[in-house]
Amino acid sequence: MTTAVLEEVAASRCFGGWQRRYRHSSATLRCAMVFSVYLPPQAESGRVPALYWLSGLTCSDENFMHKAGAQHLAAELGVAIVAPDTSPRGAHVPGDPEGAWDFGHGAGFYLDATQQPWAENYRMHDYVVRELPALIEAQLPIDSRRAISGHSMGGHGALVCALRNPGRYRAVSAFAPISHAIDSPWGQKAFARYLGEGRSAWKEWDACELIASAGERLPLLVDQGEADGFLLAQLQPEKLRQACAAVGHPLRLRVHPAYDHSYYFIASFIDDHLRHHAAALLAP
Amino acid sequence: MTTAVLEEVAASRCFGGWQRRYRHSSATLRCAMVFSVYLPPQAESGRVPALYWLSGLTCSDENFMHKAGAQHLAAELGVAIVAPDTSPRGAHVPGDPEGAWDFGHGAGFYLDATQQPWAENYRMHDYVVRELPALIEAQLPIDSRRAISGHSMGGHGALVCALRNPGRYRAVSAFAPISHAIDSPWGQKAFARYLGEGRSAWKEWDACELIASAGERLPLLVDQGEADGFLLAQLQPEKLRQACAAVGHPLRLRVHPAYDHSYYFIASFIDDHLRHHAAALLAP
């Protein structure tokens, strides 16, 4: 396999660094993909570590970069932020046969599908954990110090990526994650299609299930808004609390009164997450 | 005239305060209008001053609130931010007969039109300077300490609002303003339609022209990106520099290498503007 070329499709100066978008051919997903990256000023004189950010349902690589206000502190800390898209895309990539927003395009759930017709393209876990970092670390001034975070479906993705890949990330956090996907309507719909009806396969992609046998116990920082309309049915942070307590997995779960599921919530607490990640990424 | 009712259409907790949207009937614009407001935590225990933000072509009341990252420091300083829409809206409000994005809906240019069919609705100056603050100061925990800023078409709007209304604003600033609208293609297209072909009427809505006879000399803070694609043809900050120099109007014009016209540019420098406004708004 030859290394894919990163084609720059946008670049804006931002807090002394660069906000960029790249398109490339993904061998894993068998389609063209676009991702966004914020390169802090420190990347002009050396390689920097990166926080990978996984967005939620319906989002693209741009929502976080537009709305989270993360670049300010990332520039100060010297940490890059990489935001992949939320699914494979393109006319030849199958989506939701019913055209819904919670499956298919924009809803890859950061897993590797095993069922047709999705298995050909929907391998977002492999893409996010392996193909994308390899491309970036070969072609951008970013090194292999990695951390991962995300929101909602992307919060689930961040927890699962870290839990399935011991040693690959130095830190992990999440905003309003789907904590127990196999027990949520969003997760059940997606997993039944991407993974088939056998629930044993589902457990390999569920944060609460993975906690029990985790090969490393990276401390989890999780923020959740108490006024989040998806809290009880879809997100269920208490399930994560129970799963962590059962095995002594370190968890800092902060529930914030009156905050909702929006990017206004994320923006309000992103600095705490950036500092959490930077402490691990920049440790000697 | 009875006071219009503010109907809340959205509310999100944000940095300890509230990000809200309201709909109301505008007597000035003869249509329903929506605006966004960020209320800092201090507004829960007393009245706070407000920065009015005027957005650019194609924007709504939401772009700045989503993308500028201003709430963080506004919450710290105790300053509200009010973002009106960029034009009257609605099926009965005439737009651009050619359907372009630089005139009509989303392109009110913050002036009071005199020509038909626009004169009935396109009175954004009157709305921004009088009707909207009156509504807000009567119904929200915001008092009459006002400052104004904006971007591009909205930077033109902010400068013109301040220059035409001595004593009404305590501070003014702009990002990449259309400095000399009557000498820019955007301004010429809009002014010819909204104000007619007589160029003498245009001068009353042009920042460079108004500088000469300004009734108060509020210091201007203006930021401009040097890689802004609209710099030379549309924005022309050097014209503003010349107009200010000619009469000794205080201007701090900062030209930033490599920055473009996007919200990434605005986000990078919004804190400086907030501190500029807060110093005047919070002065005893």
In A, which residues are within 8 Å of B69 by CB distance? 69, 71-72, 267
d(CA B267, CA A275): 20
Best interface-test mutation with A: which of B8, B13, B254, B270 has the largest number of A CBs within 10 A?
Answer: B13
For A21, the token pair is: 């978008």
All residues of chain B having their beta carbon less than 8 Å from the beta carbon of residue A66 are 66-67, 263
* Inter-chain CB pairs, A–B, below 8 Å: 68
- Residue ranges per structural domain of chain A: 7-281
* Per-residue tokens: A68: 């989270």
CB A228 within 8 A of CB A197: no
The values of phi and psi at residue B273, to 5°, are: -70, -40
Q: Give the total residue count for chain B.
A: 284
What local confidence, expressed as pLDDT, does residue A4 receive? Answer: 84
Q: Give me the pLDDT at residue A131, please.
A: 98
Residue B260 and residue A13: Cβ atoms within 8 Å? yes
Q: What is the number of alpha carbons within 13 Å of residue A180 lying toward its C-beta?
A: 17
Mean pLDDT of A262-269: 98
Q: What DSSP state is assigned to residue A104?
A: B
What is the pLDDT at residue A132? Answer: 98
The radius of gyration of chain B's CA atoms, rounded to the nearest angstrom, is 17
Tokens coding B78: 């105790």
Among B12, B37, B224, pick the best mutation site for testing chain A contact (most A Cβ within 10 A).
B12
CA–CA gap between residue B34 and residue B20 (Å, rounded): 10
Chain B residue nearest residue A257, CA to CA: B13
Distance separating alpha carbons of residues A197 and A211, to the nearest angstrom: 22
- How are beta strands A80-83 and A31-39 bridged, if at all? antiparallel
A220-225 and A171-175 beta bridge pairing: parallel
Neighbours of B271 (CB within 10 A): 18
Q: How far apart are CA A92 and CA A29, in angstroms?
A: 11
> Using CA atoms in the order B139, B143, B148, B150, what is the torsion angle rounded to 10 degrees?
-40
Q: Taking a C-beta distance cutoff of 8 angstroms, is the pair A66, B66 a contact?
A: yes
Each residue of A84-135: pLDDT tens digit? 999 999 999 999 989 999 999 999 999 999 999 999 999 999 999 999 999 9
CA distance A73 to chain B (A): 11
**Pick from A14, A263, A271: which is nearest to B267 by CB?**
A14
CB atoms closer than 10 angstroms to residue A258: 14
DSSP B111-176: SB--STTTTTT-BHHHIIIIIHHHHHHHHSSEEEEEEEEEBTHHHHHHHHHHHHSTTS-SEEEEES
B227, A13: Cβ pair inside 8 Å? yes
Share of chain A above pLDDT 90, in %: 98
Q: At CB < 8 Å, which residues of chain B contact A?
A: 12-16, 19, 66-67, 69, 71-72, 225, 227, 256, 258-260, 262-265, 267-268, 271
- Cross-chain CB nearest to A262 (options B12, B225, B260): B12
* Class of CATH domain A7-281: alpha beta
pLDDT at B4: 84
Point out the residues of B that are catalytic: 152, 228, 261
Q: How far is CA B118 from CA B60, B94, B152, B205, B255, in A?
A: 19, 7, 22, 16, 36
User: Is A262 assigned a catalytic role?
Assistant: no
Query: CB–CB of B232/B226 below 8 Å?
Result: no
> What pLDDT is attached to residue B2?
54
Tens of pLDDT along chain B (284 residues)?
457 899 999 999 999 999 999 999 999 999 999 999 999 999 999 999 999 999 999 999 999 999 999 999 999 999 999 999 999 999 999 999 899 999 999 999 999 999 999 999 999 999 999 999 999 999 999 999 999 999 999 999 999 999 999 999 999 999 999 999 999 999 999 999 999 999 999 999 999 999 999 999 999 999 999 999 999 999 999 999 999 999 999 999 999 999 999 999 999 999 999 999 999 999 99
